[in-house]
A and B are shown apart, each in its own frame.
Chain A
Amino acid sequence: MKLLKLVRDDTNIDFLKWRVWAFAISLVLMAASVGLVATKGLNFGVDFIGGQMIRATFTQSATAPVTELRETVGSLGYGDPTIQRFGAENQVSIRMKLPEGADKNPELANAMAVKITNKLKADHPDVRIDGVDSVSGKVSEELFGKGVLALLAAMAGVSIYIWFRFEWQFGVGAIWSLVHDVTLTFGLFSLTGWEFDLNIIAALLTIIGYSLNDTVVIYDRIRENLMKFRKMEMASLLNLSVNETLSRTVMTSVSISLPLIVLVLFGPDVIFGFSMAMAFGIVVGTYSSIYQAAPILIWLKVGSHSFVPTDEGTGSKAERIGADFGAQP
């Protein structure tokens, strides 16, 4: 049986040739993302800023009457709503700030939800209320704080691990590419105005996990080649490593993209942003492993000397690892 080959055996692409350009473009995109988040901001869900969100589907309509809703809900005296379509055209989320004093007296938040849903039902007989979320300011601050803390802790933790298993330059490279991926995802959410809630944090964590996995695989090959080809120039060695692992990179990213593409196309509407974030993350994560994590090693002056046994004769970390796993010298 003839097997399918996604990457030809003799592939030898000079990836590292474009490293300066790639890095420059990445820096520009990252700066743009930071700028966007700073000026336009993120469209935070009630998870992170508190408030109330009502999700509704207009079952008999092709599109949800967003402009009309903005007016009718706005006229109820609770301030201006943030109304957004999500998923299908006839689904909306209506977000409101909690009424004054709702922290002390949840009845007020309740009354608001009842009033809005009643108004919707009265004006639109085909409306189906899909859910109501009410999060107080205190809880949303906690969720936000804990989310950020978890994200930072995870990023720092894995980078330290890589520092221990490889060399410090690899740790820096890993955390840099994670920062790169996370920043660009933030930028995407700011640009598109997709709602940013707790589920997106989970998606970000998946992106981090995937990107790191990719980085580790390439780093592992770089380490192996550094010990194998002690005289090779660094840029060629990185190119060799990336090319050697290329068919794996392509195969894995294609495999993971498949269910994500299906999820974006056919998955539940509530997780549209979530699926998009992950799909985006796979692309960015794969790119960053090749164009961020690898070239950084050149600039941080990694060379075969990084894995040569030291004078104390303790042996380099990589060689000890090699011994642990029975790697061939």
Chain B
Amino acid sequence: MLDFPRWRVWMLNTLIIVGVAFAIPSLLPTAMRAQLAQFVPTPTINLGLDLAGGSHILLEADTSQLAEARLEALEDSVRTALRRANPQIVIADVSRSEGELSFNVTDMSKVDAAREVILPLISNTMGTRDWDIGVNNGNRIVLSPVSSGDETALDQAMDTAKDVIDRRINALGTLEPTIIRQGENRIVVQVPGLEDPEALKALIGKTAKLEFKLVDEQADPDQTAQGKARVGSQVLPYPDNPTGLPYIAVRRLGGISGDKLVKADPTFDPQTNEPAVTIQFDSEGGQKFARMTQQNVNKLFAIVLDGQVISAPQIREPIFGGVSQISGSFTTESANALSISLRSGALPVDLTIVEERSVGPDLGADSIRRGVLAAVIGTTAILVLMFLVYGRFGMYANAALVINVLMILGVMSFANATLTLPGIAGFVLTIGAAVDANVLINERIREELKRGRRVVQAIEFGYKEASRAIFDANSTNVIAAVLLFIFGSGPIRGFAVVLMIGIVTSVFTAVTITRMWVSLWVKRTRPTELTI
């Protein structure tokens, strides 16, 4: 029990040194850490936003809208493919409802041919289908979504959305954002040190889907005002419409989308000197844009951003070269924000902010300063008390406690974990448990001495008998921590993580390490009397 072979002493000492070493970078001032980082890796603890200040934004994707967008894209590709098929396959009575796309193949004999054309469109690279195809009443083709297809689509859309957000925030400059997917359809964006998140929110909340559509110039303004459009047209909001009517009718087909951009920059309109955005298509987009403008000279086309028309200029001449200018009622800031959004690509899915927290850096700094002060005073008080009550054994416990704190910090640094306010609660609990372990041991040694056992035997018994309660107490905490991690949300998990790390290091330092020191002392001095 009190016999510690040399190799164990070495092993334990190595563990302590490694654990403490990992804590060092987190304790150094930033400047020194940066210097150190040139020679060795310096993993550090991140401070949560509640402590360090900054913004936390939780975005949620609208899954129904995604399904609708997929259906729309499917309709587009099916229509195009059937029109381009040789010979052309004519379809009619196209309908999208309840997530399904269905249409009639006018010529009964071409149903099989249509099927052949559609099949490649609905198969994915994995060799399975994203849509089921069926035929009703001989000539009505029905395409219905496969659930795994929906999931994959959502998954891909969220990955893309995450990348897009990353690009957009990076365009803002030297922020150090953390962007992580959460659950199926959520993304968490955390930006430390950002005081005013307005610019950030304006940037990441926008879908930035740009489209160019032809204006339906035959539309009846009265009908448009009521939101009604002719077959093949749709009514879109147009807040800045010079006619005063906040709506405009546009043709559904024959437009192009603005997702193939290589450049987007804020600029000023040379004629009006108002802020505007210039965009440059890639070569494929440029050709499409040239074709569209060529075929529709003198007509109006609508520039649609996120389903809302921002302006509807006239095509005066065909535009070759793929460069175009978007004007609308922009301010310098909004032109800048739009060009960043366009450059980083459209979000594949609409995201809504469902939770937002920002903590001013002053408050955060104040919290840390006072938190550290309180921790130092509190810990010192414990150390003094332990020494006064247990003497030598109290000093062992104290040294173990300090190592424990450093090791928790070390493990957290190594795991790059984040320390939050609830995490501090976890810290307090584990320090409490560590102190308690030593109190239990030392009280038990006292008791055994009182019962008349000799010193070495009393120490041995003290550790042995106290271990049982320590084991049970820590096991219950482990169980609680694991359950909290499984069922809890963000902050509660932060608590659970610190608790789990802390329990392991507390038992290690408060029991194993102190026992090593005590046994080395016993071996060296062979005490016959013990003040405890």
A residues near B (Cβ < 8 Å) are 1, 3-6, 9, 55, 57, 103-104, 106, 109-110, 114, 128-136, 138-139, 142-143, 146-147, 149-150, 153-154, 157-158, 161-162, 165, 198-199, 201-203, 205-206, 208-210, 212-213, 216-217, 219-221, 224, 244-245, 247-248, 251-252, 254-256, 258-263, 266-268, 270-271, 274, 278, 321-322, 325-328
Min distance, Cβ B262 to any Cβ of chain A, angstroms: 30
User: Number of B residues contacting the other chain (C-beta, 8 Å)?
Assistant: 83
**CB-defined contacts of B363 to chain A, threshold 8 Å:** 55, 57, 130-131, 270
A274 partner, pick from B421, B447, B479, B494, beta carbons under 8 A: B421
Interface 0/1 of B100-112, CB less than 8 Å to A: 0000000000000
A206, B428: Cβ atoms closer than 8 Å = yes
Interface residues of B in 384-443 (CB under 8 A from A): 385-386, 388-391, 421-422, 424-426, 428-429, 431-433, 435-436, 439-440, 443
Compute how far the CA of A165 lies from the CA of B479 in the bound complex, rounded to whole angstroms: 13
**CB-defined contacts of B499 to chain A, threshold 8 Å:** 209
B198, A110: Cβ atoms closer than 8 Å = yes
Q: Can you list 24 A-B pairs with a CB-CB distance of less than 8 A? A: A106-B201, A134-B353, A136-B355, A139-B58, A146-B488, A147-B492, A150-B483, A150-B484, A153-B483, A154-B479, A161-B475, A205-B492, A205-B495, A208-B480, A219-B472, A220-B469, A221-B469, A248-B440, A248-B443, A251-B385, A262-B377, A266-B370, A267-B370, A271-B424
B296 at the interface (CB under 8 A from A): no
What's the dominant secondary structure at chain B's contact region? helix
The 10 closest A-B CB pairs, nearest first, are: A259-B378, A202-B422, A268-B367, A130-B363, A220-B469, A150-B488, A258-B381, A106-B353, A150-B487, A134-B356
B358, A131: Cβ atoms closer than 8 Å = yes
A321, B480: Cβ atoms closer than 8 Å = no
**CB-defined contacts of B205 to chain A, threshold 8 Å:** 106
Known pairs A109-B356, A142-B489, A165-B472 / 12 extra A-B pairs, C-beta < 8 Å: A106-B201, A110-B201, A130-B363, A131-B363, A157-B479, A162-B476, A165-B475, A198-B491, A248-B443, A252-B436, A254-B385, A267-B371
Beyond A202-B491, A213-B476, A255-B386, whether A321 also contacts B468 by CB under 8 A is yes
Min distance, Cβ A260 to any Cβ of chain B, angstroms: 7
Compute how far the CA of A254 lies from the CA of B450 in the bound complex, rounded to whole angstroms: 23
Compute how far the CA of A255 lies from the CA of B436 in the bound complex, rounded to whole angstroms: 9
**CB-defined contacts of B446 to chain A, threshold 8 Å:** 247
**CB-defined contacts of A134 to chain B, threshold 8 Å:** 353, 355-357
Compute how far the CA of A126 lies from the CA of B476 in the bound complex, rounded to whole angstroms: 49
A104, B352: Cβ atoms closer than 8 Å = yes
B40 at the interface (CB under 8 A from A): no
Compute how far the CA of A75 lies from the CA of B495 in the bound complex, rounded to whole angstroms: 40
B487, A259: Cβ atoms closer than 8 Å = no
B334 at the interface (CB under 8 A from A): no
A198, B422: Cβ atoms closer than 8 Å = yes
